[in-house]
C-alpha cells in the first residue's frame, strides 16, 4: 500500500487550537486501521478560522479538511479522506479556496506548503535561486536590483531598502552586520512569526543575499521571548543550514561567507525600535539612541549595519529570483510589490492575506475579512499597530498604500489591521494608547515618559465627565507636544490613535455613546 502524506501545521496558531492533538489522533487511527500515512508538520496557510487545517496528498492534489478536532479523525478516515473524499470538513484544494485564490503570494509563496526544516522542500519551491542570481550579479548589481524593485521596509517606516543597503555598502569598515528585526511587537501582527515557523530558509537566504550585497559576513536575527515555537524552529533551521553548507564559508560553492545567529530579546516593545534593538543586542538596556548617526553608518558595535524587518529580508529571494521589474510591477504609486496583510481582532476571517498594494481598506475588511466575527457592525479599524490611527467605516475608501494612508494620518506599519465592532468605547481605546506608551516608554525623553502618564490621567478625567471640553483641548495640546517633542516614534506616534479616536468618535468623549443596537 502506498504511503499517504498528511500535512498538519505546527504553526503556533494551529497548535493553540489543538494541532498536536489532531496529529496524535491521526497517527493512532492510522495504526488502528493499518493505513500507511506519513505526517509532515508544516507552517500555516494563514486561514486561521480553519485551523487546524489538515491536508491530505491525493491523486487530485492536496485536499484540505478543517477545522479538524481529534474526535473528527475516525470519521474522516471512514469517509475516505486518504482519497480526498467528501466530508462536512472538506475545504477542497487550498489554492482554490477564495481566500487563497485571491492572493498574490510572493513572500509567503511556500508558507504552509513546505516542511519548514527541509532544504529539499525549500529548493523545490524555488529556494536559493535568488542567491545564485545574486552571486552571478555581485554586490553592487544586487543592491541596484533591490532599489529598482521599489521594496520599502515592511517594519513600519517604509524606507526604501535599496537605499539603506547602498549606504551600508558604500561605508568603509572592517566589519559590517545584517540584522533582522523580528521583534514584531505590534498588535495584530504575526507575519514575521509565520515565516520563522513556516519558511525559515527564506529568511536565511534573504539575509545571506543582504550580506553579499553590502559586504557583511555576520548577521543576527533579533526575535522575542514570547515566540518560543518560532525561535525553536529558527534555531533548528540555522543548524540545518550550517550542516548543509548554506551558512558559513563558501556558500553554494562560491566565495560568499555569512554567519548567522539567533538572539532572543526579553520582549519590550521599544526593543523593536532599531537603535534600542542595537543596544539590546550589545547586552545593554533597550534605550533609544539619538540619530544621527544612522545605524547604516554606525550601528552594532559602532559598525555599518543593515537593520531590516523580517518581511523586507524574506522578500529579497523572490525579487532576486524573479527580477526587480517583476516585483515592481505589483502595487501602485510608490507602494510597489505585495504586502502581507494581517487581519486580526474582531474579524470573521482572520489570518494572513498577501496582496499587491492598492485594494481599499473596506474591501480588505469587509470582503476579504468578512466583517466582524461577532456579526455586529464594524465601528473602527486600527491600522499599523498600537501607534496607528483608528479608521471608521467612512474612511473605508482609503487605498492600501503608504501615501494614501499617510494622507489620512494613518499608518500601514507592519501590515496589521485590528477590527472592532460597535461595542468598542473609543475613549477607553485612547486611554489604552497612553497607558501603553507609559508602560513601554524607554524613559529617555520627557514628552513620552511623563506625557503618556499625564495623558492617561487626562483621559480619566474626560471619562469621569470632568471639564470635558477643557480636558479635550489639554489632551490635544499634550498630543502635539508628544508628536513634535519625542525622540522616537513610540512617543511621537502615540498621538495618532488618541487624536483619531477624538476626531472620528467624538461622541465617546462627551459622555454621549452612540446607542448600541439591541442583540
Ligand X SMILES: Cc1cc2nc3c(=O)[nH]c(=O)nc-3n(C[C@H](O)[C@H](O)[C@H](O)COP(=O)(O)O)c2cc1C
Which residues form the interface with ligand X (CB under 6 A)? 153-157, 159, 181, 183-185, 269-270, 272-274, 307-309, 312, 488-490
Q: Nearest Cα to 181, choosing from 299, 59, 95?
A: 299
Cell matching residue 296: 547604516
**By rule CB under 6 A, what string of x and - marks binding of each residue 224-263 to ligand SF4?**
----------------------------------------
Instruction: Choose the stretch contacting ligand SF4; rule: CB under 6 A; options: 22-30, 308-316, 414-422, 485-493.
Output: 485-493
Q: Which is nearer to ligand SF4, 328 or 450 (CB)?
A: 450
Quote the least distance from Cβ 237 to ligand X, whole Å: 19
Within a 10 A sphere around the Cβ of 125, how many other Cβ atoms? 17
| Binding to ligand SF4 in span 426-455, by CB under 6 A | 441-445, 448-449
Does position 343 interact with ligand SF4 (CB under 6 A)? The reply is no
Residue 91 near ligand SF4 by CB under 6 A: no
* DSSP output for 185-253: -STT--HHHHHHHH-HHHHHHHHHHHHHHHT--EEEEEEETT-HHHHHHHHHHHHHHHHTTSSBSSGGG
Cell of 403: 501615501
Nearer to ligand SF4, 141 or 159 (CB): 159
Indicate which of ligand SF4, ligand X, none lies near residue 198 (CB less than 5 to 8 Å, by partner kind). Answer: none
Grid coordinates representing 94 are 487550498
Query: Beta strands 378-383 and 390-391: pairing type?
Result: antiparallel
Count of residues touching ligand SF4 (by CB under 6 A): 14
Cβ 322 to ligand X, closest distance in Å? Answer: 20
- Measured CA to CA, the distance from residue 89 to residue 50 in angstroms comes to 9
Question: Does 29 interact with ligand SF4 (rule: CB under 6 A)?
Answer: no
d(CA 244, CA 231) in angstroms, rounded, equals: 20
Q: Which of 234, 383, 488, 502 binds ligand SF4 (CB under 6 A)?
A: 488
Least CB distance to ligand SF4 at residue 495 (A): 11
- Point out which residues pair with 261 in neighbouring strands: 220
The span from the CA of 55 to the CA of 84, in Å, is 9
Q: How far is the CB of 488 from ligand SF4 (least distance, A)?
A: 3
To ligand X, the closest distance from the beta carbon of 494 in angstroms equals 10
Looking at beta carbons only, is 17 or 287 nearer to ligand X? 287
Q: What are phi and psi of 58, to 5 degrees?
A: -125, 180
Label residue 34 exposed, middle or buried (CB < 10 Å: 0-12, 13-18, 19+).
exposed
Give least dist CB 64 to ligand SF4, A.
44
- CA atoms of 314 and 118, how far apart (whole Å): 17
Min. distance of Cβ 152 from ligand X in angstroms? 7
Residue 286 interacts, among ligand SF4, ligand X, none and using kind-specific CB cut-offs from 5 to 8 Å, with none
Query: Torsion angle of alpha carbons 405, 407, 409, 414, nearest 10°?
Result: 30
Residue 154, binding choice from ligand SF4, ligand X, none, Cβ under 5 to 8 Å by partner class: ligand X
CB of 143 to ligand SF4, least distance (A): 30
CB-nearer residue toward ligand X: 115 or 192: 192
| Terminal Cα-to-Cα distance of the chain (whole angstroms) | 55
Residue 272, binding choice from ligand X, ligand SF4, none, Cβ under 5 to 8 Å by partner class: ligand X
Tell me whether residue 54 is exposed, middle or buried, using C-beta atoms within 10 angstroms of its C-beta: 0 to 12, 13 to 18, 19 or more. Answer: buried
CA dist 12 and 190 (Å) reads 10
The nearer residue to ligand X, 111 or 307, going by C-beta atoms, is 307
Interacting span for ligand SF4 (CB under 6 A) from 148-156, 391-399, 418-426, 481-489: 481-489
User: Are 199 and 122 in contact, with CB atoms under 8 Å apart?
Assistant: yes
Nearer to ligand X, 284 or 510 (CB): 284
- Residue 16: count of CB within 10 angstroms of its CB: 12
| Closest to ligand SF4 by CB, 445 or 501 | 445
Instruction: Annotate each residue in 278-317 with x if it binds ligand SF4 (CB under 6 A) or - if it does not, as one string.
Output: ----------x-----------------------------
The answer to whether 483 contacts ligand SF4 (rule: CB under 6 A) is no
Between 288 and 411, CB nearer to ligand SF4: 288
**Beta carbons within 10 angstroms of residue 469's beta carbon:** 10
CB atoms within 10 A of CB 79: 17
The set of residues, in sequence order, having a beta carbon less than 8 Å from that of 93 and lying 6+ positions away, is 60, 61, 62, 63, 64
Between 199 and 273, whose beta carbon lies closer to ligand SF4?
A: 273
| Cβ at position 188, least distance to ligand X in Å | 12
* φ/ψ (deg, to 5) at 41: -95, 125
Do 400 and 383 meet the contact criterion of CB atoms below 8 Å apart? no
Give whichever of 319 and 448 is closer to ligand SF4, judged by the CB atom: 448
Binding site for ligand SF4 (CB under 6 A): 270, 288, 441-445, 448-449, 486-488, 490-491
Amino acid at each position: 500500500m502506498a504511503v499517504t502524506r498528511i500535512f498538519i501545521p505546527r504553526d503556533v496558531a494551529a497548535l493553540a487550537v489543538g494541532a498536536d492533538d489532531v496529529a496524535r489522533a491521526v497517527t493512532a487511527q492510522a495504526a488502528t486501521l493499518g493505513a500507511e500515512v506519513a505526517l509532515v508538520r508544516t507552517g500555516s496557510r494563514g486561514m486561521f478560522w480553519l485551523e487546524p487545517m489538515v491536508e491530505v496528498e491525493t491523486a487530485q492534489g492536496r485536499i484540505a479538511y478543517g477545522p479538524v478536532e481529534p474526535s473528527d479523525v475516525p470519521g474522516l478516515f471512514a469517509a475516505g479522506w486518504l482519497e480526498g473524499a467528501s466530508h462536512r470538513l472538506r475545504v477542497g484544494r487550498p489554492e482554490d479556496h477564495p481566500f487563497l485564490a485571491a492572493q498574490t503570494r510572493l513572500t509567503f509563496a511556500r508558507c504552509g506548503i513546505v516542511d519548514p526544516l527541509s532544504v529539499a522542500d525549500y529548493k523545490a519551491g524555488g529556494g536559493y535561486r535568488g542567491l545564485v542570481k545574486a552571486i552571478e550579479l555581485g554586490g553592487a548589481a544586487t543592491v541596484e536590483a533591490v532599489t529598482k524593485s521599489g521594496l520599502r521596509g515592511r517594519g513600519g517606516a517604509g524606507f526604501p531598502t535599496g537605499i539603506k543597503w547602498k549606504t551600508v555598502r558604500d561605508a568603509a569598515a572592517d566589519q559590517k552586520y545584517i540584522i533582522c528585526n523580528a521583534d514584531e511587537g505590534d498588535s495584530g501582527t504575526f507575519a514575521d512569526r509565520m515565516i520563522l515557523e513556516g519558511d525559515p530558509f527564506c529568511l536565511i537566504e534573504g539575509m545571506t543575499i543582504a550580506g553579499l550585497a553590502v559586504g557583511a559576513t555576520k548577521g543576527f536575527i533579533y526575535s522575542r521571548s514570547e515566540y518560543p515555537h518560532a525561535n525553536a524552529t529558527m534555531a533548528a533551521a540555522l543548524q540545518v543550514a550550517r550542516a548543509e553548507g548554506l551558512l558559513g564559508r563558501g556558500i553554494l560553492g562560491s566565495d560568499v561567507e555569512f554567519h548567522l545567529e539567533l538572539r532572543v530579546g526579553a520582549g519590550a516593545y521599544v526593543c523593536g525600535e532599531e537603535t534600542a534593538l542595537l543596544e539590546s543586542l550589545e547586552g545593554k538596556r533597550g534605550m533609544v539612541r539619538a540619530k544621527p548617526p544612522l545605524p547604516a553608518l554606525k550601528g552594532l558595535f559602532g559598525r555599518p549595519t543593515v537593520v531590516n524587518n523580517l518581511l523586507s529580508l524574506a522578500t529579497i529571494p523572490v525579487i532576486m529570483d524573479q527580477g526587480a521589474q517583476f516585483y515592481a510591477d505589483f502595487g501602485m504609486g510608490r507602494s510597489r510589490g505585495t504586502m502581507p496583510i494581517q487581519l486580526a481582532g474582531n474579524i470573521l476571517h482572520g489570518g494572513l492575506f498577501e496582496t499587491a498594494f492598492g485594494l481599499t481598506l473596506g474591501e480588505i475588511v469587509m470582503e476579504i475579512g468578512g466583517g466582524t466575527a461577532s456579526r455586529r457592525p464594524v465601528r473602527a479599524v486600527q491600522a499599523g499597530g498600537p501607534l496607528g490611527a483608528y479608521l471608521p467605516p467612512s474612511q473605508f475608501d482609503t487605498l492600501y498604500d503608504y501615501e494614501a494612508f499617510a494622507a489620512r494620518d494613518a499608518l500601514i506599519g507592519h501590515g496589521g489591521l485590528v477590527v472592532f465592532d460597535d461595542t468598542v468605547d473609543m475613549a477607553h481605546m485612547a486611554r489604552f494608547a497612553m497607558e501603553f506608551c507609559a508602560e513601554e516608554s524607554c524613559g529617555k525623553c520627557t514628552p513620552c515618559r511623563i506625557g503618556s502618564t499625564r495623558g492617561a490621567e487626562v483621559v480619566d478625567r474626560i471619562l469621569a465627565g470632568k471639564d470635558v471640553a477643557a480636558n479635550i483641548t489639554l489632551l490635544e495640546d499634550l498630543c502635539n507636544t508628544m508628536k513634535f517633542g519625542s525622540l522616537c516614534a513610540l512617543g511621537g506616534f502615540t498621538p495618532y490613535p488618541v487624536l483619531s479616536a477624538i476626531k472620528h468618535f467624538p461622541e465617546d468623549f462627551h459622555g454621549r455613546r452612540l446607542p448600541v443596537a439591541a442583540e
